[in-house]
């Protein structure tokens, strides 16, 4: 399994046209330049059709946005772990609020990812679900209140108790799983607040994926990590 240094900045490209196809490669290369120049941990998660081209273009970890449980065979339309490995992926997001999964499927996907040495970030919408996810021993849990996703209103500023409460409750059941947060993260101040609240990284999307100058945004985002 890839070793992800903490704190980490994970960038979800979603299905934004500004981060699709060759544009996905350009943004990933911007992330790689910042990661190498400042020695920080940055992960990118492009759409499934772009995974191979992006992973061939950069050395930083490339994650899928989703992975279905199951073994290769009769699973038309599913994105299975073996295909992610062949595409050059290091890990995958699971259970994003825009692509939620059944609890049993989350666990099955985590176990399959372990077999394939893939890092897993399970997205959750509140502290209770975060604790449930943590008991499955994923690589990381990323709590993201869905009402703040894409709003530009940072969870670390607007609902800090979500982060601190999630950290406190997860650590009662799991001391090893990394704890990330997301929703509305868009600046270095947001990241700094998240880290002070106990988060070990952030998961964000539009602030970088839709930016006119992704590298300038990234430089601001990593500022608290460099202190």
141-165 mean pLDDT? 71
pLDDT of residue 149 exceeding 60, the answer is no
- Within a domain: 50: yes
Average the pLDDT over 205-210 and give the result: 95
Domain range enclosing 161: 8-226
Cα gap 211→135, rounded to integer Å: 36
Supply the pLDDT for residue 144.
Answer: 81
Cα separation, 40 vs 211, in Å, equals 20
CATH number for the domain spanning 50: value is 3.20.20.70
Q: What is the pLDDT of residue 147?
A: 62
Top pLDDT among 151 and 30 is at: 30
Interval 176-203 mean pLDDT? 90
- Count of domains for the chain: 1
Computed over every residue of the chain, the mean pLDDT equals 92
Over residues 126-135, mean pLDDT = 93
Average pLDDT for 160-177: 90
User: Does residue 34 form part of some domain?
Assistant: yes
Residue 91 is assigned to a structural domain of this protein: yes
DSSP 22-48: HHHHHHHHHHHHHHHHHT-EEEEE--G
Please report whether residue 129 resides in a domain: yes
pLDDT surpassing 70 at residue 146 = no
* pLDDT tens for each residue of 22-51: 999 999 999 999 999 999 999 999 999 999
pLDDT tens-digit map of 51-95: 999 999 999 999 999 999 999 998 899 999 999 999 999 999 999
In a domain, 88, yes or no: yes
Catalytic residue among 78, 107, 144, 215: 144
The tokens describing 141, both together, are: 């849990």
pLDDT at 90: 98
Question: Is 166 among the domain residues?
Answer: yes
**Which pLDDT score, from 0 to 100, does residue 106 have?**
97
Told to judge if 117 belongs to the known catalytic residues of this protein, a careful annotator would answer no
Q: What is the pLDDT of residue 183?
A: 73
Within a domain: 3: no
Q: Which residues of 149-162 are buried (b: 16+ CB within 10 A; e: fewer)?
A: bbeebbbbeebbeb
The reply to whether 96 belongs to the active site is yes
Whether 2 maps to a domain, the answer reads no
Which residue in the list 96, 107, 117, 215 is annotated as catalytic? 96
């Amino acid at each position: 399994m890839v070793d992800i240094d903490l704190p980490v900045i994970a960038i979800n490209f979603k299905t934004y046209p500004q981060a699709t196809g060759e544009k996905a490669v350009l943004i990933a290369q911007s992330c790689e330049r910042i990661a190498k120049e400042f020695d920080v941990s940055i992960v990118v998660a492009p759409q499934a059709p772009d995974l191979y081209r992006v992973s061939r273009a950069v050395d930083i970890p490339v994650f899928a946005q989703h992975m279905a449980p199951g073994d290769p065979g009769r699973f038309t339309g599913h994105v299975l772990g073996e295909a992610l490995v062949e595409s050059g992926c290091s890990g995958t997001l699971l259970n994003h609020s825009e692509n939620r999964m059944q609890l049993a499927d989350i666990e099955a996907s985590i176990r399959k990812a372990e077999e394939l040495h893939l890092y897993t970030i399970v997205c959750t919408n509140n502290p209770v679900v975060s604790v449930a996810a943590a008991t499955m021993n994923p690589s990381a849990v990323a709590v993201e209140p869905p009402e703040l996703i894409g709003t530009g209103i940072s969870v670390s500023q607007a609902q800090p108790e979500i982060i601190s409460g999630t950290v406190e409750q997860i650590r009662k059941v799991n001391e090893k799983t990394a704890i990330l947060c997301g929703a509305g993260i868009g600046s270095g101040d947001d990241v700094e607040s998240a880290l002070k609240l106990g988060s070990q990284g952030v998961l964000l999307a539009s602030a970088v994926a839709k930016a006119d100058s992704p590298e300038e945004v990234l430089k601001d985002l990593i500022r608290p990590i460099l202190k």
